[in-house]
Chain A
Amino acid sequence: MLRALPVRTRRRTAVLAAAVLAGVLVVVLVTAWPGGGSGNTTTVDGNPSAVLYTAGHRPLAPGFTGTTLTGSQLSSSSYRGHVVVLNFWGSWCVPCREEATTLAAVAGRYRPAGVSFLGVDVRDTTASAQAFVNQFHVGYPSVGDASSVITADFSDVVPIAGTPTTLVIDRTGHIAGAVFGTVTYSDLTAILAKVTAKGG
């Protein structure tokens, strides 16, 4: 024990340090409590899963090439200058079945406005996907993405958490809006209305 220092003070310092450390530990561990990850993106129309990116903050959509379900080659570059609705889907995915008719309806409504629809068929086989396309009379092409490589490239710029996900890409090739999960008619048309109206 050091004689030079008053014993009381030293003990009090030590105890105080211990108490503070214990408090910090508790805080750290409480925040470490298991919890889900969170997406933090700007939202639109009160629906947290329908997102509109403000101009100037739109992420650039990665380019991709792939084989369509009918066996032809398709490149994203051929869509430049068009507003594109990119729908990530799979024949195995239950919500995709729910939104299939919605997508077909919106596609029909916006075709005159020059909006192209394109599917990305995730973790699927051609046989099942083609059966789905026939079943729901999907009128637009889909690129096969059995390995999820295209999905992964897009996940780098937008937080794609699962299938389905629908992205709206503006004429400059930037992602202007997104619906994470099942699309509703109103959400998608609201996004498209803004993207096509702005002319950007």
Chain B
Amino acid sequence: MTDVRAPESDPFDPAAERDDPPRPGPGSPGGGAFGLADWLKWAWRQLTSMRIALILLFLLAVGTVPGSILPQQGADPAAVQQYYVSHPGLAPWLNRLGLFNVFAAPWFAAIYLLLFASLIGCVVPRTFRLAGSTRSLPPRAPRNLSRLPRSAEYVTTLPPAAAAAVAAKVLSGHGFRLRRPAAGEDAGATGETGPGNGHWVSAEKGYLREAGNLLFHLALLGLLVSVALGGLFGYKADRLLVQGQTFADTTSALDEFHPGRFVTGADLARFTMTLNQFTASYISTGQQRGQPSAFDARVTYTEQPGGPARTGHLAVNRPLSVDGAKVYLIGHGYAPVFKVTDARGQVVYDQATPFVAGATGNFLSEGVVKVPDAQPDQLGFTGVFVPTAANVGGTLESVFPAADNPVVSLIGYAGNLGENAGPAQSVYELDTAGMKRLTASPQALAPGQSLKLPGDRGTITFTGYVPWVSLAITHDPGQLPALICGMAALGGLLLSFMVRRRRVFVRARASQPGAGENGTTVQVGGLARTDASGSFEAEFAALAAELKSAHEQAAPGEPAVSPQPEGE
């Protein structure tokens, strides 16, 4: 945001009343009869004042801070739960203030809505004003140009009228918008006296600056609308997919589904996708040993039910566009395959079970196996998957993230999983409240090895492992508009910073009697507003030199007959 709000109260912008102190009388609450309309007017004027906008900007900056420091419900609900556990006294208060969901909190919305209302209140009138100024002329030349920030003066033998005409030609050649004295506007009308005082040129250039400034602010509005568009008509979903599995993009096949307000499950793209193979490569030597170097997921997908099957690659930073949605590879892990036989000898569980890597690194992963239909008791296991196992001081640790020496370590439980009724449970947690621990210490298994459960409860076999990936499926119709608005904002910013609005005035006067030569004194004055690049100085110098040489060329030797002015 640049200085769209009538900044450096601007000689170019006569209607810049932004910085004016509140006027007494009916314009401010200090006045006598102050009705609701007056209050509204007053509030609107306050809201759209630069000072309030500035304060709102600060509030916006300050308001976002807790969102980066406290865990956020949207990004990491588990961390919020953790915070409740570690700060039982403080957490409910923070929650009441919306600090666990800052970016959806009413007070945060209030800040940015007020800011954007303020912005609209500023930009729209300015747009009207810019539209007006493109049809109006630059102001008349001031009397004494030598008092302008940039000025030059020289003498020419051309008569004043001709000198002004030549100057006008030079300036219009540079794309300046010109103003010459109107018929009745000569000397007398402006209160100027003396012969020839009416020969002047006003020139102005750089309207694009304001246009760029407005474009920037309007683009920010557009950006906000684009974000809203995504919130209304977009969706975001997650799905964990084990290698070899297929899923159809429908609500009940998704692990999480966050639809926009006007989105239902029926709006999901109707593709199916199979994870054929996932490979993760890791650096195996040197200081960065264990750091991932590449991920690649090979998938087969159909864009429509019954459509042709295509193959594709998914990698980090390389999403796949399918039927209007985009599919991203956002995570991966190991899913050890377990086969559980219960007391009757019946296979009651035989599947790959996704384990999730913990914070300890090298993909030491944790997971849970639940066997609700084992007889006579339900069975449960908490497990750790160690991709490259090593015995470090008696404990099992992973020394490399690739599965070079995979081992699972299991603790078995029997009893009631607590799943026959009640709320849905996490598939990564085992509620052992109603269960009996079967083994005192964790039992380590290599692929192919089995663990016989005590009390003839059956066996569990670690048959192998497959990788899994987590996919994000998103659709955001506001994305392209947001990109366009972002680019427009940048373009507007560059325009408003690089273009400078400047005025150049030329006055030609008959030299004072007694100055000797009977010539014309040409005064050139220049004025630039918010010259960010600081190069108006050089531009003015070049322009003045060009004007001088044009006058010299137009008047070889003796004062010539004034040429017919052009463009009048």
Binding site for B on A (CB under 8 A): 1-3, 7, 10-11, 13-15, 17-19, 21-22, 25-26, 28-29, 31-39, 88, 91-95, 97-98, 122-123, 125-128, 131-132, 134-135, 146-149, 151-153, 155-156, 159-163, 165
Contact = CB atoms under 8 A, between A and B. Distances in A.
B129 interface: yes
Contact of B346 (A91, A95, A131, A160): A131
B373 A135 contact: yes
A34 B231 contact: yes
A1 B264 contact: no
Contact of A29 (B109, B247, B372): B109
Nearest to B305: A153
Nearest to A133: B373
Residue of B136, B264, B375, B420 most packed against chain A (CB within 10 A): B264
26 contacts: A1-B15, A1-B129, A1-B132, A1-B136, A11-B15, A14-B124, A18-B121, A25-B120, A25-B225, A37-B261, A37-B264, A94-B420, A94-B421, A97-B372, A123-B253, A127-B348, A131-B371, A134-B346, A135-B372, A146-B246, A147-B248, A147-B253, A149-B246, A151-B250, A152-B253, A155-B252
Nearest to A90: B252
A159 B249 CA distance: 14
Given A17-B124, A122-B252, A131-B349, A32 B261 contact: yes
A148 B128 contact: no
Given A1-B129, A32-B231, A155-B252, 10 more contacts: A3-B136, A17-B128, A22-B116, A94-B419, A127-B347, A127-B351, A128-B350, A135-B375, A160-B251, A160-B252
Contact of B266 (A10, A13, A159): A159
B187 to A, nearest CB: 22
A83 to B, nearest CB: 24
Nearest to A4: B135
Interface of B: 14-15, 44, 48, 104, 109, 113, 116-117, 120-125, 127-129, 132-133, 135-136, 221, 224-225, 228, 231-232, 245-253, 259-261, 263-266, 268, 270, 272, 274, 305, 339, 342, 346-351, 370-375, 419-425, 427
A135 B420 CA distance: 12
A94 B132 contact: no
Contacts of B135: 2
A199 to B, nearest CB: 31
B393 to A, nearest CB: 38
A17 B128 CA distance: 10
Contacts of B266: 155-156, 159
Nearest to A127: B350
A125 B16 CA distance: 72
Contacts of A147: 245-248, 253, 272, 274
A131 B349 CA distance: 8
A148 B248 contact: yes
A76 to B, nearest CB: 15
B264 A152 contact: no
Nearest to B233: A32
A98 B247 contact: no
Given A91-B373, A147-B245, A34 B348 contact: no
Contacts of B15: 1, 7, 11
A19 B122 CA distance: 10
Given A26-B117, A98-B420, A149 B265 contact: no
Contacts of B261: 31-35, 37
A45 to B, nearest CB: 23
Contact of B120 (A18, A29, A93): A18
- The CB with the most chain A CB atoms within 10 A, among B252, B268, B346, is that of B252
Given A131-B373, A162-B252, A125 B247 contact: no
Contact of A160 (B116, B250, B420): B250
Contacts of B423: 94
B518 to A, nearest CB: 39
Given A22-B121, A92-B427, A148-B248, A160 B264 contact: no
Contacts of A34: 104, 231, 261
Contacts of B117: 22, 25-26
A2 B132 contact: yes
A128 B417 CA distance: 15
B246 A155 contact: no
A7 to B, nearest CB: 8
Contacts of A123: 252-253
B270 A156 contact: yes
A148 B255 CA distance: 12
B252 A161 contact: yes
A18 B253 contact: no
B117 to A, nearest CB: 4
Contacts of A35: 261
Which 7 interchain pairs have the tightest Cβ spacing?
Answer: A148-B253, A131-B373, A152-B248, A152-B250, A18-B124, A147-B246, A14-B125
B265 A160 contact: yes
